[in-house]
Amino acid sequence: MSMYYFGTNLDNRFAVPDFWPKPEQTHKIPYEREEIKLEVERMKQRRLEMKKIRDEMRGRQAATGGGSDGVTGQADDEMRS
């Protein structure tokens, strides 16, 4: 089943405002050496922050006796390090 629409106001009738992100909202790929170093450092910091949050959550789960035994997460942490 298909639907066809014929008319002169197609852009106004079927346009979705702000559908595509603006250039300043998209990710800019670093090309310069210094930009690449800064991006790698930012990624490392984010990874360490997320690891710290995961460790805190696991510590709380272990303290309350809930959650998993931590075996599955341990292998993931070793691979990332």
User: Per-residue pLDDT averaged across 14-34, rounded?
Assistant: 85
Q: Is residue 36 part of a domain?
A: yes
Percent of the chain with pLDDT over 90: 37
Percent of the chain with pLDDT over 70: 74
Number of structural domains the chain divides into: 1
Taking the model in full, what pTM does it have? Answer: 0.48
Write the burial class of residue 61 (CB in 10 Å: 0-12 exposed, 13-18 middle, 19+ buried): middle
What pLDDT sits at residue 31?
A: 92
Q: What is the domain extent for residue 40?
A: 27-66
C-alpha distances in angstroms, 32 versus 27, 28, 53? Answer: 15, 12, 32
Q: Is residue 37 part of a domain?
A: yes
User: Per-residue pLDDT averaged across 25-48, rounded?
Assistant: 93
* pLDDT exceeds 70 at position 36: yes
